[in-house]
């Protein structure tokens, strides 16, 4: 399985072997990412498209051209399904990623950068488009070493990263704050809590354990508040089972379920943070009683 990362930036500036272009069936350039790639790469890309795809490409298929003046070596063009026009077969969306990686293997490419295919003008629901991308890439039989999922909008980047860390949690170093988190929480309040658990694990994967438990408590609380956008102290007097204290975090919403994307703040106050502080105390730091 390739290493998959979420990148906030401009696909056309990625220095990789292959960038993937979501295009129309004619494969002659257009708007959005397609237009940006043609503008950045110059006329050489269009000339190659005309020569290699005289009849265009079918939905779900892919093919390669030069990258012209772009930092990448090649562009792999793929045709995503038009959800708004009724093309709602998910296998076609998954095929875009699978076929692009197959073409990358034919080119002996080792690094590939994808945009989020099917969203935007084509209308595929974003959460499901992200899930299709992550699941397909994570299970692909490919020789590609690294895949980047590139988003230009910060909100989309955060949603991709949350889904990616749920499916493919990053490794954590020894004696780091991230090492206090197992890959899957042993218990949680609502369906957004496992996403937050993995988000924290990923953020702290390389953060050394602090010298004192009070520093750790502050670090955890401050980071959670930053993510959910609310102070934890506003929930101090609320019972742990009161769902009115739930906070919705859009990037943790996988697109289904009544509590999807919802973080249960009392669970973190009364259970989640104390679990982590107890684990830290068990390491034997002096004066580490978290109570």
| Residues annotated as catalytic (active site), given as ranges | 34
* Structural tokens at position 49: 């498209």
* Structural tokens at position 280: 């830290």
The SS3 call for residue 64 is: strand
Q: How far apart are CA 200 and CA 265, in angstroms?
A: 14
* Structural tokens at position 105: 């293997």
Neighbouring C-alpha atoms within 13 Å toward the C-beta of 285: 17
Neighbouring C-alpha atoms within 13 Å toward the C-beta of 90: 11
Q: How far apart are CA 243 and CA 238, in angstroms?
A: 9
Q: How far apart are CA 262 and CA 207, in angstroms?
A: 26
Cα–Cα–Cα angle for 16, 110, 50, nearest 5°? 65
Query: Integer distance in angstroms from the first to the last C-alpha of the chain?
Result: 43
According to DSSP, the residues that pair with 92 across neighbouring strands are none
């Amino acid at each position: 399985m390739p290493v998959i990362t979420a990148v906030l930036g401009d696909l056309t500036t990625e220095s990789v072997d292959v960038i993937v272009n979501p295009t129309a069936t004619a494969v002659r350039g257009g708007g959005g990412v397609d237009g940006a790639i043609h503008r950045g790469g110059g006329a050489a890309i269009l000339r190659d498209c005309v020569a290699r795809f005289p009849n265009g490409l079918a939905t779900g298929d892919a093919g390669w051209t030069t990258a012209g003046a772009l930092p990448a070596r090649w562009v792999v063009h793929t045709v995503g399904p038009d959800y708004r026009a009724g093309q709602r077969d998910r296998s076609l969306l998954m095929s875009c990623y699978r076929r692009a990686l197959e073409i990358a293997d034919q080119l002996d490419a080792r690094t590939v950068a994808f945009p989020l295919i099917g969203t935007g003008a084509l209308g595929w629901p974003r959460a499901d488009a992200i899930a299709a991308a992550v699941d397909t890439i994570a299970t692909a039989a490919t020789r590609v070493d690294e895949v980047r999922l590139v988003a230009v909008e910060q909100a989309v980047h955060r949603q991709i990263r949350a889904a990616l860390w749920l499916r493919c949690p990053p490794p954590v170093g020894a004696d780091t704050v991230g090492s206090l988190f197992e890959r899957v929480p042993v218990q949680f309040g609502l369906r957004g809590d496992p996403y937050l658990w993995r988000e924290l694990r990923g953020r702290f994967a390389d953060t050394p354990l602090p010298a004192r438990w009070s520093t750790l408590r502050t670090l955890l609380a401050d980071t959670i508040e930053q993510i959910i956008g609310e102070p934890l102290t506003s929930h101090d007097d609320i019972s742990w089972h009161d769902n009115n204290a739930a906070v919705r975090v859009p990037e943790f919403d996988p697109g289904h379920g009544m509590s999807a994307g919802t973080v249960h703040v009392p669970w973190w106050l009364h259970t989640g943070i104390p679990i982590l502080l107890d684990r830290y105390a068990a390491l034997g730091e002096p004066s580490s009683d978290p109570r």
